[in-house]
Amino acid sequence: MLTSLRSRSLLLLVLVATLLPLLPVPNFWVTQANYVGLYGIVCIGLVLLTGVGGLTSFGQAAFVGLGAYATGFLTTQTGLSPWLGLLAGLMITGLCAYLIGQVTLRMSGHYLPLATMAWGLSLYFLFGNMEWLGKYDGISGIPPITLFGIQLDNARAMYYLIWFFVLCAVLISLNLLNSRPGRAIRSLKGGAAMAEAMGVNTAHYKITVFVLAALLASLSGWLYAHFQRTVNPTPFGITMGIQYLMMAVIGGAGYVWGALLGALIMTLLQDKLQVWLPGLLGANGNIEIVVYGLILILILQYAQEGLWPVLHSLYGKLWPVHQSAVPPSLDLSDKAGNALSDTIAPLATRCKLAPGELILEVAAARKQFGGLVAVNDVSFQIKAADIVGLIGPNGAGKSTMFNLISGVLSLTRGKIAFNGETIGRLSARQIVTRGIGRTFQHVQLLPTMSVLENVAIGAHLRSAQGHLHQVMTAMFRLDHQQERALLQEAKRQLRRVGLGDYLHVQAGSLALGQQRILEIARALCSDPLLLLLDEPAAGLRLKEKQALAELLRQLRDEGMSILLVEHDMDFVMELTDHLVVMEFGSKIAEGTPTQIQSDPVVLEAYLGGVD
Amino acid sequence: MDFSIFTILLQDGITNGAIYALVALALVLVFAVNRIIFLPQGEFVAFGALTLVSLQAGTIPGTVWLLAVMAILTTLLDLSAALRLGRKRLIARLLLIKLVSPLLLVALVCWAAPRQWPLLVQALLSIVTVTAMGPMIYRLAYQRLANAKVLVLLIVSVGVHFVMTGLGLLFFGPEGARVAPYVESSLTLGTLELSGQDMVVLAVSLLLMLVLAWFFNHTLYGKALQATAKNRVGARLMGISTTMAGKLSLCFAAFIGALSGILIVPTTAIYYDSGFLIGLKGFVGAILGGLMSYPLAAIGAVLVGLLEAFSSFWASEYKEVIVFTAIIPILLWRSIASGGTPHGGDE
């Protein structure tokens, strides 16, 4: 459906935005609308950073200040064009954000907001004490922006420029979120470990989204400086930094449209409160922040997602549209799917090894946690197109062994070689690039994303271009080809595992068994030579287990090698070609299922000895 | 810089550092027990100081009205909860503790305000007034969100900070104020002159730290707080109420804040919004200990005090810039110390 909610909202926005200044509304309204736009641009950055990426920043106002001061200084002191001021502001902000991000984004959750708070405060005092930036008086006499020979020197003229950039920011953000880099960014919040195991360089994406949010803030600062024609440190202080975050939270930090809603609400509220609060409480000064604070606390207690989802569901109730099964964010994949189902060239695949060739060699692998030897000089091999089971009683060291191969833990001693290459010291992300796909014992997926998008994260590595190129093309939606190919691949793998009917369902709404299958599809998307499955049958019903076994056999017949850690003996004995049994960290037996079933050592380990 | 200036700066730095250290301890406590990054800690400092200033001037401090309103709201919330759960027998006790006693305190302060009681009594009244707010703030702002993510709690803290700063302006006006030094005399040791006021601040801070250490290691409630900090679920399974722990920790935080405010107000003019910067400097110190270790937080805070004192001598205009950018190398050091492993954006 082309008339998805998203296109309708966009259309509405464009319409209202174009008409407002043409109507005989008072100038004050236009000025207020300008502020909504200026705040909105900053908040869209915050949505990407905080609501989607899970990185909280109180320092956005400082980035706004960098943009404003850069252009203010250049245009008044050197007489350069404001457009060069914009360029300078973006460059300075980008560089600052990159450096700050390098230092702070390595830290866990709560350090970043504190660091941004400190950074916001420092920059405020820096602006206020620099002789050449006019100290606390700031810079005045900033020239207006000239566009095609027209001077944008009043609110109505600036209005179009500001809202043009708002629209650009909305479009770019929506495009970005709906792409390969976007899926990686969305996985930062709550799925970073999984994303790393799928080959996503989460550190790169954190920096990227931090810089992007800073650049949007800087853009808003540039517009602000040429709209106000003067800058001083106050609007770039920490209070404003906090208020930007408040706007995003009130509107709905997880939604691009929420950013604009929040900016609108706060602007209207600010205006009203400044009029009637002093009358009510009989004091002057900044007391409207009391009300802001109360609203913030109440919103978080009763509507943590902000007001946009509330509004959205209200809209849905008032004008029930026939909901297609496709959520608004997925129209691209849907169009691509319908129009071009099988005409897209499939992604390049690795060449498979001939059956029987050595694919994984574990030689005297050892892992110690302090004095505890979790894996004690274990050796075994996996041949191509074999299903190997790793079994053993609880606490035998199976999961540790699994984590050593998948790169979550690093070896204390010994060697693990994959396809002839030593991988014992590589990280999870490097290992998936070599051709090892994995699933998780406790299902790790992004519950609010669709099944298709979740699986597409697995195909993250299957595109050739560099990181920046990816992000840029995604923002301007020049990545059609690749995006279609990735989603097509995800769809193909989902059909392969039997989830073809659930492409556009939220992943969190699947049953546990289906979620496990989804993880296999996601792992398959990375085009692995070896598949590591951590208890794939746990929580599955009999029929589901049979279907899973059938799927794994089929994969083996297509040349896939599989290592699975499993508790379910029936499942393992029927399925595997070869078994490795561990107990107390050591390998106690190895062989075909029949051999293992009659091995006295194994029987003793499982059933206890006969004394 | 000669030796005498050096010693003055040193004294200044250590005295302010002691205050930051108290604030840092409260921040570590509240974070460890509740996972709340408690930005409004500084507001307790300002409230404590300015309540004393009001009492000294013989006027009723606005903080008591806030206390009264919060007492009523807390009681209403707890009453409705008690009725919903059908625990009617608790109501009399609830009213006595949550409503009557705070209102009696309010009445006492109102009655005492114009009577110009001795300084020590006024200080005590200020501290009690502010301390009583701590558990109420927990009840009103945080209790519903006890299981929320750290970031959500942090944003709630921002809300509480806004409310308290705004009310501070309403109660105390925009002007800064201070009180006469508690101790006028000073001690001269050779060329070294030690101000008596600074000695008082140091002595009280040290004493408080010792008392806190004793409390946490040797009393049942102290151990309950420690247990909650170590393992919330485990503590609950052992019958420790996390709500109680939350309220108790905020009670301590408010107490420490108010006391710090009263200690600092003779040497520095306190404004309604001074608390925020004091609190953040405490944070810079506490981060040195990863918001986890009490001794490291205290040491970090004293270092912040020293850094501030010496940078105010060399580059007074940039002293805030210097203090707050100091957080960057500290963070870098911590990130290297923690192995630089990338963590998820939330927890």
Task: Report the pLDDT averaged over residues A370-387.
Answer: 88
Q: How far is CA A560 from CA A21, A435, A463, A513, B176, in A?
A: 63, 11, 22, 22, 74
Considering chain A, what is the average pLDDT of its residues? 84
Give the confidence band of A611 by pLDDT, cuts at 50, 70, 90: low
Structure tokens at A59: 């320092």
Where do we find the tokens 């970073």? A192
Do residues B142 and B36 make contact, with C-beta atoms less than 8 angstroms apart?
A: yes
Task: Answer yes or no: is B238 within a domain.
Answer: yes
Q: Is the pLDDT of residue A164 over 50?
A: yes
Looking at chain B, the whole-number percentage of residues with pLDDT higher than 90 is 35
pLDDT for res B251: 95
**Does A273 contact B at CB distance below 8 Å?**
no
What is the count of residue pairs from A and B with beta carbons less than 8 Å apart? 163
In this predicted complex, what is the ipTM?
Answer: 0.87
Q: Does domain A29-318 have CATH number 1.10.3470?
A: yes
Among B163, B331, B345, whose Cβ lies nearest the Cβ of A290?
B163
Q: Name the DSSP letter for residue A391.
A: E
Number of structural domains in chain B? 1
Task: Give contacts of A133 with chain B, Cβ < 8 Å.
Answer: none
Sequence length of chain A is: 611
Q: Which residues of B144-175 are buried (b: 16+ CB within 10 A; e: fewer)?
A: ebbebbbbbbbbbbbbbbbbbbbbbbbbbbee
Among A107, A122, A301, whose Cβ lies nearest the Cβ of B144?
A301
Cβ contact, residue pair A193, B344, below 8 Å: yes
Task: Give contacts of A191 with chain B, Cβ < 8 Å.
Answer: 344
Do residues B162 and A282 make contact, with C-beta atoms less than 8 angstroms apart?
A: no
Q: Give the residue on A whose Cα is nearest the Cα of B346.
A: A109
Task: Report the pLDDT averaged over residues A210-228.
Answer: 94
pLDDT for res B338: 61
Task: Report the pLDDT averaged over residues A264-282.
Answer: 79
Among A188, A193, A294, whose Cβ lies nearest the Cβ of B163?
A294
**Does A285 contact B at CB distance below 8 Å?**
yes
pLDDT for res A472: 82
Q: Which residues of A349-362 are buried (b: 16+ CB within 10 A; e: fewer)?
A: eeebbeeeeebbbb
pLDDT for res B43: 94
CA dihedral sign of residues B246, B250, B253, B259: negative
**Does B103 contact A at CB distance below 8 Å?**
no
Q: Give the residue on A whose Cα is nearest the Cα of B141.
A: A297
Stretch 124-153 of chain A: residues touching chain B, C-beta under 8 Å: 125-126, 129
Task: Report the pLDDT averaged over residues A47-55.
Answer: 89
Do residues B52 and B262 make contact, with C-beta atoms less than 8 angstroms apart?
A: yes
pLDDT for res B335: 66
CA pair distance B304, A209, nearest whole angstrom: 32
Among A103, A242, A283, whose Cβ lies nearest the Cβ of B170?
A283
**Does B2 contact A at CB distance below 8 Å?**
no
**Does A287 contact B at CB distance below 8 Å?**
yes
pLDDT for res A26: 83
Give the tens place of pLDDT for each residue, A57-66: 888 999 999 9
Among B150, B152, B159, whose Cβ lies nearest the Cβ of A293?
B159
Give the confidence band of A4 by pLDDT, cuts at 50, 70, 90: low
Task: Report the pLDDT averaged over residues B317-331.
Answer: 78
CA pair distance A69, B94, nearest whole angstrom: 56
Cβ contact, residue pair B321, A129, below 8 Å: yes
Task: Give the minimum alpha-carbon distance from B191 to chain A in angstroms, rounded to a whole number.
Answer: 35
Cβ contact, residue pair B170, A121, below 8 Å: no
Q: Which residues of A288-301 are buried (b: 16+ CB within 10 A; e: fewer)?
A: bbbbbbbbbbebbb
Lowest-confidence pick of A350-354, B188-192, B304-308: B188-192
Give the confidence band of B22 by pLDDT, cuts at 50, 70, 90: very high
Cβ contact, residue pair A293, B332, below 8 Å: no
Spell out the residues 6+ positions from residue A128 whose beta carbon is closer than 8 angstroms to its own.
Answer: A135, A136, A233
Q: Which residue out of A55, A58, A125, A242 would a mutagenesis test of the B interface target, given it has the greatest number of B Cβ atoms within 10 Å?
A: A125
Q: Is the pLDDT of residue B316 over 80?
A: no
CA pair distance B52, B178, nearest whole angstrom: 9
Task: Give contacts of A287 with chain B, Cβ < 8 Å.
Answer: 166, 169-170
| Helix H or strand E encompassing A368 | strand A358-369
**Does B57 contact A at CB distance below 8 Å?**
no
Task: Give contacts of B280 with chain A, Cβ < 8 Å.
Answer: 117-118, 121
Among A129, A245, A288, whose Cβ lies nearest the Cβ of B317?
A129
Where do we find the tokens 């207006």? A144
Task: Give contacts of A297 with chain B, Cβ < 8 Å.
Answer: 140-141, 156, 159-160, 163
Looking at chain A, the whole-number percentage of residues with pLDDT higher than 90 is 18
Give the CATH number of domain A358-607: 3.40.50.300
**Does A283 contact B at CB distance below 8 Å?**
yes
pLDDT for res B258: 95
Q: Which residues of A399-427 are buried (b: 16+ CB within 10 A; e: fewer)?
A: bbbbbbbbbbbebeebebbbbeeebbebe
Highest mean pLDDT among A14-23, A157-166, A479-488: A157-166
Give the confidence band of A137 by pLDDT, cuts at 50, 70, 90: confident
CA pair distance A418, A436, nearest whole angstrom: 9
Task: Answer yes or no: is B103 within a domain.
Answer: yes
Helices then strands, counting H and E runs in chain B, come out as 15, 2
Which residue spans of chain A are classified as CATH 3.40.50.300?
A: 358-607
Q: Is the pLDDT of residue A515 over 70?
A: yes
**Does B299 contact A at CB distance below 8 Å?**
no
Cβ contact, residue pair B159, A296, below 8 Å: yes
Q: Name the DSSP letter for residue B177.
A: B
Looking at chain B, the whole-number percentage of residues with pLDDT higher than 70 is 95
Q: Is the pLDDT of residue A41 over 90?
A: yes
Give the confidence band of B73 by pLDDT, cuts at 50, 70, 90: very high
Structure tokens at A522: 């996601």
pLDDT for res A166: 92
Do residues A379 and A587 make contact, with C-beta atoms less than 8 angstroms apart?
A: yes
Task: Give contacts of A121 with chain B, Cβ < 8 Å.
Answer: 277, 280, 320, 324
Between helix A111-129 and helix A60-73 the angle, nearest 10°, is: 30
Give the confidence band of A332 by pLDDT, cuts at 50, 70, 90: very low
Range(s) of the domain holding residue B314: 3-337
CA pair distance A229, A476, nearest whole angstrom: 31
Q: Which residues of B190-206 are buried (b: 16+ CB within 10 A; e: fewer)?
A: eeeeebebbbbbbebbe
Task: Answer yes or no: is B28 within a domain.
Answer: yes
Q: Which residue out of A295, A297, A299 would a mutagenesis test of the B interface target, given it has the greatest number of B Cβ atoms within 10 Å?
A: A297
Task: Answer yes or no: is B346 within a domain.
Answer: no
Task: Give contacts of A122 with chain B, Cβ < 8 Å.
Answer: 320-321, 324-325
Which residue spans of chain A are classified as CATH 1.10.3470?
A: 29-318
Task: Give contacts of B344 with chain A, Cβ < 8 Å.
Answer: 54, 108-109, 188-193
**Does B339 contact A at CB distance below 8 Å?**
no
